[in-house]
Amino acid sequence: MPEDVVPGQDLGVSLQALLGWMSHYGHLSYACTARMAGEKLAE
């Protein structure tokens, strides 16, 4: 696990910040952006 993971969460701080930014400015739900990121990371 990355060193910057917040306890109780499975994503790093910087990735969570990116997903939060995308959900706020892109008007996408956090779940939707997390799913998109997971699909890209799996490629």
pTM for the model stands at 0.49
Per DSSP, helices labelled H in the chain are: 13-25, 30-42
Quick one: pLDDT at residue 7?
64
- Give the pLDDT confidence score for residue 3 in this predicted structure: 65
Mean pLDDT within 16-34? 79
In the numeric block, which tokens belong to residue 29?
Answer: 């739900």
- Mean pLDDT of the 9-22 span: 76
Q: What is the DSSP letter of 12?
A: B
Q: Please tell me whether residue 5 adopts helix, strand or coil conformation.
A: strand
User: At residue 1, does pLDDT exceed 60?
Assistant: no
